Amino acid sequence: MPRITPFFVLVLAAMSAFGPLSTDMYLPAFPAIAAGLGTDAAHVQTTLASFFAGMSLAQLAFGPLTDRFGRRLPLLAGLGIFVLGSIGCGLTEEVGWLAMWRFIQGLGGCAGMVTARAIVRDVTEGTETIRLMSRLMLVVTLAPILAPSLGGLLLGWGGWRAIFWALVVYGLGLALVVGRVLPETLPPERRRREGLAGVVMVYARMLGTRRFMGLVLSGVLPMGGLFAYITGSPFVFMELHGIAPGQYGLLFGANALGIMGVSQLNAMLSQRHPPERVLLWGLCAMAGAGVAMAALSGTGSFWGIALPLFVYVASIGMVMPIAAALAMASQGRAAGSASALIGTLQFGGGALTGALVGALYTGTAVPMAVVMALAALAGLLSRLILVR
């Protein structure tokens, strides 16, 4: 087994960062993309939903592939698909094709996220898994801190297409690192050999396990609120409240800093208290913040949205690492499939909540805030009812 060095954690974090980098980096470019492709903001938002859909669907395949063939080869294949999709995004001239290439980007980008969680399960156990997940969260949250600002710089330097060419370079660079230095963490004797029917049975068993699904949903449902924030916040802050793209990047980064701080607090609390209890604390904080934000969203107050939003987003640093670690702890050799199911539900919910925010558009912050509040309350109920 590899030693858990800072470099090893950094590589895993880079694998996990495909989602935030591929979404957050091009958010400031929405108006420029709409102008460049001769369309409107609503059609540009569909490119975000199509990326979430690709991330969601492909994980069901990548998870079992990593359990059968090891972690490295499926990961490298996924990176190749991601690079292909990014090239297509950089060359497209029509918003429909951009949505398709974003879907392909998602198909490949999910491999890094699935594999990173599976590798964590390969090399750690118990509370050590939560600690490593929290360390990953610390590094991964640098992506949403830096990505909007980096996207704004690239937008000013080379236009919105430069953002996608930067993602091409990122995918190629990580593929080089993985191919040369990342060790295989799943030896042949621990790999699963069942066919398609066996894979379906594994997923069916997981879906029928009350505790596993309770833990998964307690993490996945509040994350749907996070995707609602990602989808709705460019309109809420840049158009509704007149925030400039650069200032929007700073606001986005401040919320991500909250995740960093809470994820480190989470690592300490999980050593001193039962992780299920710490998870409950985080869910209560998210639900309270979501309800407060929904109540204040119709007032037009900037701080009435920004302050509860900060609490909501920061609490992700407590909820997601514990929910994922506890859910995967019992899955043993099926860690890749468990990671895939978590990711599929997470990004499937993200695509749904993102589309819901767009469908409920009222010209106010109410749709985003209400969807986030409902997502957090649903996660809290999953923890209370299904996890004993």
186: left (phi over 0), alpha (psi -120 to 50) or beta: beta
Question: What 8-state DSSP symbol labels residue 361?
Answer: -
- pLDDT score recorded for residue 238: 78
What's the token pair of residue 6? 């800072």
Distance from C-alpha of 231 to C-alpha of 73, rounded to nearest angstrom: 33
Q: How far is CA 363 from the centre of its chain?
A: 26
- pLDDT score recorded for residue 67: 81
Distance from C-alpha of 108 to C-alpha of 26, rounded to nearest angstrom: 18
* CB within 8 Å of 169: residues ≥ 6 apart: none
Quick check: 53 and 103 in contact, CB under 8 A? yes
Question: What 8-state DSSP symbol labels residue 92?
Answer: -
Quick check: 105 and 22 in contact, CB under 8 A? yes
- pLDDT score recorded for residue 153: 85
Half-sphere exposure of 74 (CA within 13 A, CB side): 28
Quick check: 213 and 207 in contact, CB under 8 A? yes
271-276-280 Cα angle (round to 5):
110
What is the pTM assigned to this prediction? 0.74
Give residue 188's identity as a one-letter amino acid code.
Answer: P
Instruction: For 70, list phi and psi in degrees, rounded to 5.
Output: 90, 175
Question: Directed axis angle between helix 142-158 and helix 245-272, to 10°?
Answer: 160
Half-sphere exposure of 132 (CA within 13 A, CB side): 29
Distance from C-alpha of 257 to C-alpha of 255, rounded to nearest angstrom: 5
Residue 237 vs residues 25, 240, 243, 372, 376: alpha-carbon distances, Å = 16, 6, 6, 16, 21
* CB within 8 Å of 275: residues ≥ 6 apart: 127, 130, 322, 325, 326
What's the token pair of residue 363? 């010209």
Per residue of the chain (388 residues), give pLDDT as tens.
566 777 888 888 888 888 778 887 887 888 889 888 888 777 887 888 788 888 888 888 887 888 888 888 999 999 999 999 999 999 998 989 999 999 999 999 888 888 887 888 788 776 777 777 777 766 666 666 677 778 888 888 888 999 999 999 999 999 999 888 888 888 887 777 767 677 788 788 888 888 888 998 998 898 888 888 877 887 788 778 888 766 777 787 788 788 878 877 877 887 788 888 889 999 999 999 999 999 998 888 888 888 999 999 899 888 888 888 888 777 666 767 777 788 778 777 777 887 788 778 777 888 889 999 999 999 999 999 988 7
